[in-house]
Structure 1
Amino acid sequence: MSHKRIPKRKAAIAVGGVAALGAAALLLPNANASQDEKAADAAPRTLRANDASDLAAQVRGLLGDAFAGSYYDSGSRQLVVNVAGGDDNATLRAEQAGAVVRQVDNSTAELTSAARTLRTEATIPGTSWAVDPRTNRILVTADSTVTGANWDRLESTVQGLGSGMATIKKSAGTFKTFVSGGDAIFSQVQGGAVRCSLGFNVTASDGSPAFLTAGHCGVAAETWSDSETGQPIATVDQATFPGEGDFSLVTYDDATTQAPSEVNVGDGQSVQIGQAAEATVGQAVLRMGSTTGLNDGTVTGLDATVNFQSETDPSGVDTVTGLIQTDVCAEPGDSGGPLFTQDGSALGLTSGGSGDCTSGGETFFQPVTTALQATGATLGAGDAGAGDQNGAGDQAGGDGVGGAADPSASAEDPSGAGDQAGGDQAGAGDQSGTGDQSGNGDQSGNGTGDQSGSGAHSGASRSRTH
């Protein structure tokens, strides 16, 4: 079978060399500093979100067990750090580093334990949970399918966590994977066609050109084309879904394929991508997908667990952990597309959610840094190791902080700037999916995600040697 080289226009979603996130220097007091000098050092710093992510990682090290999450306040352009416990010395060090410190009731250990209880007792199709550091609680979301006994079970589990530990919100839509999807990629499978979005171009560990997309896309089909009726140009090397992530590494069949370090945002415009970074709660983000184009929004949670309803087993669940939660809209066809920032940080790959780009909703993304670590790939031309691509950040027990762009841009003007304050996001419009896609494996309650235009397919993951 002959293969064609993917045109530069079709490989427009990509990532190049990785640059380290800007360091936020700790302002530790000198041994002989006066109290006035210490007070001056403790003034909160005005930061870009990228710098806030690095500062958050440093402050977490200073606080240890007292650290209870952090988020970026884009209005004041400051990092807010939660502290549980009364260690005044640790608090002072965090303030001297430049963070705004606030005392909270729930520690990271307590929130992590509560999340484990939810996983054990409330893994119900159509539910998700993630720690919201702004409220210092776990935000539990239930979609429109969670009713009757399942709703009672979820509500009882949340109440059992104790007062002030978690809140429940209802979503009008249904949690589904958004298959169908920057630039569209296609595959023909038994029963129809599968359509997803290319995420970021990378270099595989053996030096071959490749790209990242959603794991449920890689499970759905083994070979992919850049046109609906074209010959395959790329083959799935690794795919993870469901379980600990939703990502695929797909290698180009032509070893000379050119993969520019940019996201194609339409109308002849692109955003150059220079680094991979962790997401930050409260940061402004952009998402590109072949169905809905460019859209913007805010990160609302980290290390989210999502329980997608199985499409082949009425009682089955596809549980995916470690995702980024946002209020960015998405629709079928956007799966695998890139989540990124205006200043060129690659953050995530579109996984799924509820709602659409008319009524809104919540959308979940696979962190790029995790996918790079797991696959051994490097961004773009691969001039930095996978380990060097992880932006400084924090992610523990459903909460964390990482690098992000400061300004937000609209779909009409990707170069526009402006801060976007983070806030809780729940509620979603109804989203209909098409086709049927199943996955199974060793994950708890595994079933399927919804695959647009696809036939039934079995297999939780696929790995291919070079």
Structure 2
Amino acid sequence: MSRKHAVATGYVLTITALTLAAVPAGADRRPDVPADPASPLSRASGAPDATGTARVRAAAVVAPPGMLEALQRDLGLTAEQAEERLLNEKRLAPIVERMRTMLGTRFGGAWLRAKTANTLVVSSTSVADIPAIVAAGAQAEVVPRSLTQLADIKAKLDITLPPKPLVSSVRYVDVKRNKVVVLTSEPQSAQNFVQASDVEQNAVVVLPSSEAPQPLYDLIGGAAYYVGVASRCSIGFSVTKGAQTGFVTAGHCGKKGAVTSGFNRVAQGVFQASSFPVDDHAWVAAKPGWTATAAVDNGAGATLPVTGARAAIEGASVCRSGSTSDFHCGLIQQRDASVTYPQGTVFGLTRTSVCAEPGDSGGAFIAIDQAQGVTSGGSGDCGAGGVTYFQPVDEILTAYGLTLKTTAAPTEAPAQSPEACVGYLSLYQDTLAVGQSALQPRGVYYRARQGGLHSGCLNGPAGADFDLELLRWNGSAWRVVASSDGPGPNKKIAYTGTPGRYRFRVTATAGSGPYALAFTAP
């Protein structure tokens, strides 16, 4: 059943290498229609496909209802190709995390190739990593810059390129090019700013673009959730905070204290916190009578289960649910994009080839059964196609201390040692070999919106010596502002700082093994 209410052409949603191998969507209540039987995603063939790459046997994966059909329509795939793509994305995802940990600061990024995503490419700044990458089942590329270096370059350009007058509408790290891309309607002006900045010129490419993202506001009524009398947006994902249930959505949909009503105009909840621009996220606490479910509307009278929030690989398929244009799919293109809307710049968005329209803002992006983020803005529409940006869900959960509602059965918590990290809002786990370092959260950074206390707690493996540092971006480089480097695996940091971008660095000085980093930020 279509829920289209409006169409707009512009709106906010928000390499040199060596190859070796906007409006939130509501809980639209639709007629109870039995879902089509899920299609098993499995392959038993070991024969090579058209690219010459052998298909790998894997356990069956169940496609959520409606996803295969949306992938066929939006990516131009056959039913078999859609099934194979989802299978490959599921199979190759763990390899990326292992490579990210193993390569550490040499990791240059990873992405999927081919129509069915049957090829994973992992890049490194060191030729010596090629055998390990190939042995893990991926193709290797040697690149001049690491992902961390590219993120630092983009952060400098975010400061250099002014939002008024608008010089660049979008900046993002392109791991395939191993460069930072600047999209602009004024290439010469943008190039002048880039040349005047303190960045490696060969690491930046300026591309002419008519892309002008706008927030997905829509004042036309429809089945969704409403802010005030007429403004309509879309629900992202159900969350909890203690005993309170609610949902996450786009920040430009409403300010703190704004009252919402549901698709049926029944009083629904209140915005507890909201950020826009800089970020584009918010969360709404629901009133009694509204049940939080681990599900996403698939636009065909059924729902998709949400079992976790593992970030999809660049090049992987991703689908969006919104109250205007229903359910559409595309590909993850680039991460850590900075988008300048008329209201200001939003940082840390993910760029996709999924279409969207006004009224879809805040709606859910999902990859198979993994929550990815909420719709921010973009350009184009679902008739002609477009580009859409989403705010990653893990940043929203971290910012507000929320827990994603999932269908996964809760597991028994491991016994805590006397020195275990408890009482912190965010938790990240990984494994390090001696001499390696890792940046958290997820190799990027988090943003403190106000001054206050940054508390970090590290639990490393017994018998090892792991160190912990807190770094802050000073406008031109990352500087260590606090550290804990005494003997032993467990460290803590307490630092009172000003608003800005921060990240933790964990280093295995002696010994190897898994660690857990927990932290709370203002």
TM-score, reference length from structure 2: 0.59
Shift in Å, 1:242: 1.8
1:209 is paired with a residue whose SS is strand
Q: Cα gap change, 1:396/1:183 in structure 2, threshold over 3 Å: closer, same or farther?
A: farther
Find the counterpart in structure 1 of residue 78 from structure 2: none
**d(CA) in 2 for partners of 1:240, 1:137:** 29
Find the counterpart in structure 1 of residue 347 from structure 2: 321
Find the counterpart in structure 1 of residue 119 from structure 2: 78
1:361 is paired with a residue whose SS is strand
Q: Cα gap change, 1:325/1:391 in structure 2, threshold over 3 Å: closer, same or farther?
A: farther
Shift in Å, 1:139: 2.0
Shift in Å, 1:289: 0.9
Q: Cα gap change, 1:214/1:7 in structure 2, threshold over 3 Å: closer, same or farther?
A: closer
Q: Is the CA contact 1:74–1:282 (under 8 Å) kept in the aligned structure 2?
A: no
Find the counterpart in structure 2 of residue 178 from structure 1: 216
**d(CA) in 2 for partners of 1:72, 1:372:** 27
2:380 is paired with a residue whose SS is coil
Could you tell me which amino acid in structure 1 is paired with residue 324 of structure 2?
A: T
Name the % identity. 30
1:138 aligns with 2:177: no
Unaligned runs of 5+ in 1: 1-5, 13-42, 311-317, 399-441, 445-466
2:96 is paired with a residue whose SS is helix
**d(CA) in 2 for partners of 1:333, 1:7:** 13
Q: Is the CA contact 1:45–1:78 (under 8 Å) kept in the aligned structure 2?
A: no
2:254 is paired with a residue whose SS is helix
Find the counterpart in structure 2 of residue 222 from structure 1: 258
Shift in Å, 1:302: 0.5
Q: Is the CA contact 2:315–2:333 (under 8 Å) kept in the aligned structure 1?
A: yes
More strand by share: 2
Find the counterpart in structure 1 of residue 372 from structure 2: 347
Q: Is the CA contact 1:73–1:79 (under 8 Å) kept in the aligned structure 2?
A: yes
1:153 aligns with 2:173: no
Q: Is the CA contact 1:171–1:354 (under 8 Å) kept in the aligned structure 2?
A: no
Could you tell me which amino acid in structure 1 is paired with residue 216 of structure 2?
A: F
1:242 aligns with 2:277: yes
Q: Cα gap change, 1:326/1:285 in structure 2, threshold over 3 Å: closer, same or farther?
A: same
Q: Is the CA contact 2:361–2:375 (under 8 Å) kept in the aligned structure 1?
A: yes
Could you tell me which amino acid in structure 1 is paired with residue 291 of structure 2?
A: Q
Q: Cα gap change, 1:240/1:116 in structure 2, threshold over 3 Å: closer, same or farther?
A: same
Q: Is the CA contact 1:186–1:226 (under 8 Å) kept in the aligned structure 2?
A: yes
2:385 is paired with a residue whose SS is coil
Shift in Å, 1:375: 1.8
Q: Is the CA contact 2:134–2:140 (under 8 Å) kept in the aligned structure 1?
A: yes
Find the counterpart in structure 2 of residue 56 from structure 1: 96
2:396 is paired with a residue whose SS is helix
Q: Is the CA contact 1:71–1:80 (under 8 Å) kept in the aligned structure 2?
A: yes
Per-residue displacement from partner, 1:280-303 (whole Å, max 9, x unpaired)? 210111111111111111111011
Select between 293-302 and 67-76 the one with higher mean Cα deviation: 67-76
Find the counterpart in structure 2 of residue 260 from structure 1: 293
Could you tell me which amino acid in structure 2 is paired with residue 285 of structure 1?
A: V
Shift in Å, 1:222: 0.8
**d(CA) in 2 for partners of 1:137, 1:301:** 11
Per-residue displacement from partner, 1:67-102 (whole Å, max 9, x unpaired)? 11111225452321111134x1x3322332222211
Q: Cα gap change, 1:226/1:121 in structure 2, threshold over 3 Å: closer, same or farther?
A: same
Shift in Å, 1:210: 0.4
Find the counterpart in structure 2 of residue 363 from structure 1: 388
Q: Cα gap change, 1:7/1:173 in structure 2, threshold over 3 Å: closer, same or farther?
A: closer
Per-residue displacement from partner, 1:360-416 (whole Å, max 9, x unpaired)? 222110111221122222222696598579999995469xxxxxxxxxxxxxxxxxx
Q: Cα gap change, 1:66/1:44 in structure 2, threshold over 3 Å: closer, same or farther?
A: farther
1:22-33 matches, cutoff 5 A: none
Q: Cα gap change, 1:395/1:167 in structure 2, threshold over 3 Å: closer, same or farther?
A: farther
Shift in Å, 1:227: 3.7
Shift in Å, 1:219: 2.1
Shift in Å, 1:211: 0.7
Could you tell me which amino acid in structure 1 is paired with residue 260 of structure 2?
A: W
Q: Is the CA contact 1:274–1:345 (under 8 Å) kept in the aligned structure 2?
A: yes
Q: Cα gap change, 1:389/1:368 in structure 2, threshold over 3 Å: closer, same or farther?
A: farther
Q: Is the CA contact 2:250–2:362 (under 8 Å) kept in the aligned structure 1?
A: yes
Could you tell me which amino acid in structure 1 is paired with residue 106 of structure 2?
A: A
- Give the RMSD, CA atoms, in angstroms: 3.5
Find the counterpart in structure 1 of residue 303 from structure 2: 270
Shift in Å, 1:224: 0.6
1:219 is paired with a residue whose SS is coil
**d(CA) in 2 for partners of 1:93, 1:241:** 42
2:381 is paired with a residue whose SS is coil
Could you tell me which amino acid in structure 2 is paired with residue 321 of structure 1?
A: F
Could you tell me which amino acid in structure 1 is paired with residue 158 of structure 2?
A: R
Unaligned runs of 5+ in 2: 1-25, 33-53, 58-86, 412-424, 432-439, 446-498, 502-522
Identify the structure with bigger relative contact order (alpha carbons < 8 Å, sequence gap 6+): 1
**d(CA) in 1 for partners of 2:200, 2:427:** 40
**d(CA) in 2 for partners of 1:288, 1:390:** 30
1:208 aligns with 2:228: no
**d(CA) in 1 for partners of 2:406, 2:308:** 12
Could you tell me which amino acid in structure 2 is paired with residue 338 of structure 1?
A: A
Shift in Å, 1:214: 0.6
Q: Is the CA contact 1:378–1:384 (under 8 Å) kept in the aligned structure 2?
A: no
Work out which of the residue numbers 276, 294, 311 in structure 1 matches 2:327. Answer: 294
Q: Cα gap change, 1:324/1:7 in structure 2, threshold over 3 Å: closer, same or farther?
A: closer
1:329 is paired with a residue whose SS is coil
**d(CA) in 2 for partners of 1:137, 1:253:** 47
TM-score, reference length from structure 1: 0.65
Shift in Å, 1:206: 2.0
Find the counterpart in structure 2 of residue 332 from structure 1: 358
Find the counterpart in structure 1 of residue 158 from structure 2: 119
Name which one, 1 or 2, has greater alpha-carbon Rg.
Answer: 2
Q: Is the CA contact 1:74–1:283 (under 8 Å) kept in the aligned structure 2?
A: no
Q: Is the CA contact 2:364–2:375 (under 8 Å) kept in the aligned structure 1?
A: yes
Matched residue count: 343
Q: Cα gap change, 1:213/1:223 in structure 2, threshold over 3 Å: closer, same or farther?
A: same
Q: Cα gap change, 1:390/1:50 in structure 2, threshold over 3 Å: closer, same or farther?
A: farther
